[in-house]
Amino acid sequence: MHLGTKYFLQILKDAVGPCVNSSKFLPTLTRKLYSRTKPQIFFLTKNFRNAYILPSFQGGIQPWRLFSYKDLLKSEQEHWSAFQSNYTRKTERLKQRLETHYEKYSSTLDSLMIRFGEYVYFEEDSCICRSRLEETVEGNIEVLLCMEDLPFHGFFIQRIRISPDHRYIATGIKSANSEDSVSVIVKLNTLPVMECIIPNVFSFEWATHDILFYTVQKNLQCHEVYLYDFSKKHSELVYTEQDARYFVDLYCTKDKRFLTINSSSKTTSEVWLVDCHHPFKPPVLVQQRTKGVIYHAEHRNNYLYILTTYGDPMGYKLIKAPVDSCCLENWQSIYVVKEKAKLIELEMFKDNCVVFLKYCGHLYIDNISLVTNSIHSVKLPAWACSFELEPHPEYTTSTCYFWLSSPVQPPIRFAYSLVENKLIELTEQEVSIAVNCHAIHLEAKSKGEVSVPITVFHEPNSVELRRKPLLIHVYGAYGTDVNMSFKPENLMLIEDGWILAYCHVRGGGELGLGWHKDGCTTKKHNGIHDLKACINLLHKLGFSQPVYTALASLSAGGVLAGALYNNDPHLIRAMVLQSPFLDVLNTMLDPHLPLTIEEQEEWGNPLVDETCKAYIKSYCPYQNIRPQHYPSLFITVSENDQRIPLEGMLRYICKLRRAVRDHVQAKSADEKGLQMPNIILDVQPGGSHCASSLNQVAVQLAFLYSELGLDMQK
């Protein structure tokens, strides 16, 4: 259902911790390791005879119910296996081309590097290594941890935390095929020694040289915080969240003075401070949770700098308060994000706070001096659609590094001088801007005369755009923008004459907090109206036509895509969905599912509110399937995905197939030659959510090329 981790800028990211990308754009795009072997969490190899495993606190992720649709699953697998032969040739050709594009840009998308103190930490050949800064060029490398030596197969590195004195490194690894995660702690002696393994860990931070705080994940939820004292080999419970709507995460302030325990729901949060000088003292509450108020705390010179949604106007503000009296009445405003601006990132430095924004379709930097209270703004290059800050920049640095990209532009590294307020493109790492692609910004008029932004890409010299294939992307949930980061396959599609369109509908976050609020709970229909308006405008302006139009989405974006599929099937020829959320009502009526209670602030609570129940039913894709002509559909899911249970997906496919058959049978006498659409469910093994291999991308594209009757250029 919810895509990504929770709730605050730095907390929300699936970040690999204090990592800096040396030649990589997204810190969340980690290298995934695959194996046919199922993870054996409690099996230790001979290399780990001296390591120990902390208790799991009964925290393993368990199946939410016994699955009773084995026959139906087998039938779907057989159906896809038989149908797949129709795409074999196209899939292989597309895969070969995709491999070429991925290899071309692999130097941009791979390799993690971390600068921490006097060391550089990096990942190489599935190992975590380090070297001293002055010895990096000489190649003096120390191997700290090898993934292949671990008893966890099919896991990838997700998060790294290094103790202040460099004596320990804590590594969070996550299964590529499930929600299982583990923290592995290595003691960095003359030779690295495995210290311990902590199962079911979601986040962790070092408070001191030998005290690690961590959260435990149970059924996709984090409600408990523990600390572990490595000097005494002792673990204890620090904090427990009692409200099922909240998710607990950890963060360490940039100056390392405090560790924050952040308990957040979709709309409300609360922060507790742990004094890193006295980690055994009870956490101190910053401000008691207030419904509708989100906040996150940083620290500088005995003041808390708090990013919050409190007060008017609607949106984020930066305030400060003395650390000893930080309650609400002492909050002093420093900076307000302008209306309809999207706050992308905020980073604290010793004397500056750097804010990255999206406003009117453009990216900006606001540099706030914490000494003079002055603000300097810089507009980033017009082609940029996506931004990623290099994680964990040095607190005392005078330069901020980040990457810019677009769906068709590989990442380019930039530097911003905090002192000179100057933007520098680092030409030594430059990737040529995709000059063979034209970008257009449009606005569709939706219901209520609301303007909905659309970003379009196509070949600059294309003629007869009306006859070109169009691929539309949409998301529109949780205040999350539609993904506009670089993907190599987009360049291949542009080469083949495709038009790519990204619809920034309500429910997403492109125009700030208000944009999200206008598209969630009892306003979900707004996003559906927006999507329809965007597609109608594109066709009206001559960007393709329904017979050459495809729609793509994933996870919660499936709600809007699935609603359009029911309400306006004539607007598209085919649809591709990945791990889509299509059965909103039944999901939100089942409190046994791990995320149902937590998700009520996004979708509403039909368990107690009949009006809400009726509203969800009015747009829920599963509830509104009916006999009519449907476009072809390709859905990819994971067999054990807990966020999108397979039972609901099979129920959806069954009902859709029945509706399609009923329509064909009813119309066959009147409309000779009426064809049934291809409805395909590709069930992948494992339990990953929205993870895609290169082969899966090739299969999905082969489906689209076939359904739209297209020939590949090369």
Catalytic residues: 555, 641, 689
**What is the C-alpha separation between 569 and 550, in angstroms, rounded?**
11
Mapped onto helix, strand or coil, the DSSP state of residue 273 is: strand
**CA-based torsion, 463, 467, 471, 476: positive or negative:** positive
* Nearest-5° Cα angle at 620, 616 to 624: 120
In terms of Cα–Cα distance, which of 187, 133, 182 is closest to 162?
Answer: 187
Please, what is the end-to-end C-alpha distance for the chain in angstroms? 37
Please classify residue 570 by burial: count the beta carbons closer than 10 Å to its beta carbon, then call 0-12 exposed, 13-18 middle and 19+ buried.
exposed
Can you tell me the distance from the alpha carbon of 282 to that of 239, in angstroms, rounded to the nearest whole number? Answer: 9
**Distance, CA of 624 to chain centre:** 28
**Orientation of helix 88-104 relative to helix 694-707, angle to 10°:** 130
Listed in order, strand segments (DSSP E) in 167-292 are 168-175, 181-188, 192-199, 201-206, 211-218, 221-229, 234-240, 247-252, 258-264, 269-275, 284-285
Q: Which runs of E-coded beta strand occur in 385-450?
A: 386-389, 399-406, 409-417, 422-425, 438-445
- Structure token pair of residue 263: 């308990």
The whole-angstrom separation of Cα 181 and Cα 197 is: 11
**Residue 589 burial by Cβ neighbours in a 10 Å radius (0-12, 13-18, 19+):** middle
> 3-state DSSP: the chain helix, strand, coil percent, rounded to 5?
25, 35, 45
